[in-house]
């Protein structure tokens, strides 16, 4: 919660309530083996964190710390093993193209 108080102090209490609600919903979804709901809720917060990064790229280290210290330890061991970081950089010149993906990529060019 300290991250939100620093970055969005006017919304910190609201976000704390939302996070608690989402946490409860995720735990219920896991208990009921409802992976669709769990993934949807996780996707919602991934989007919110991405929007936060898009607004203020300087928070990247703070978000990484939040993920490493609070969220990753809450994962099951097999889920923790799947957490990784990918950094890709590319530069296209003239009429060249760059295709980058963190997993498989399928292209259909004509």
Report the domain count for the chain: 1
Q: Which residue has the tokens 């950094």?
A: 87
Domain assignment present for residue 103? The answer is no
> Could you report the per-residue pLDDT of 28-61, keeping only the tens digit for each?
998 999 989 988 988 888 888 888 888 777 888 8
Among the listed residues 16, 36, 15, 12, the one whose alpha carbon sits nearest the alpha carbon of residue 26: 36
Domain assignment present for residue 67? The answer is yes
More confident residue, 80 or 59: 59
Task: Report the distance separating Cα 49 and Cα 59, nearest Å.
Answer: 10
pLDDT at residue 89 above 80?
yes
Per-residue pLDDT band at 7 (split at 50, 70, 90): confident
Q: 50: domain range?
A: 2-82
Cβ-contact 1, 12 below 8 angstroms: yes
SS3 content of the chain, % helix, strand, coil (to 5): 65, 0, 35
Domain assignment present for residue 88? The answer is no
């Amino acid at each position: 919660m300290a991250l939100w108080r620093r970055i969005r102090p006017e919304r910190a209490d609201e976000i704390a309530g939302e996070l608690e609600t989402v946490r409860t919903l995720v735990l219920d979804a896991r208990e009921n083996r409802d992976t669709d709901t769990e993934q949807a809720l996780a996707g919602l917060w991934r989007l919110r964190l991405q929007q936060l990064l898009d607004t203020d790229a300087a928070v990247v280290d703070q978000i990484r710390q939040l993920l490493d210290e609070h969220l990753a330890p809450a994962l099951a061991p097999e889920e923790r093993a799947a957490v990784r970081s990918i950094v890709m950089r590319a530069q296209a010149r003239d009429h060249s193209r760059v295709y980058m993906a963190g997993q498989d990529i399928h292209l259909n060019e004509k």
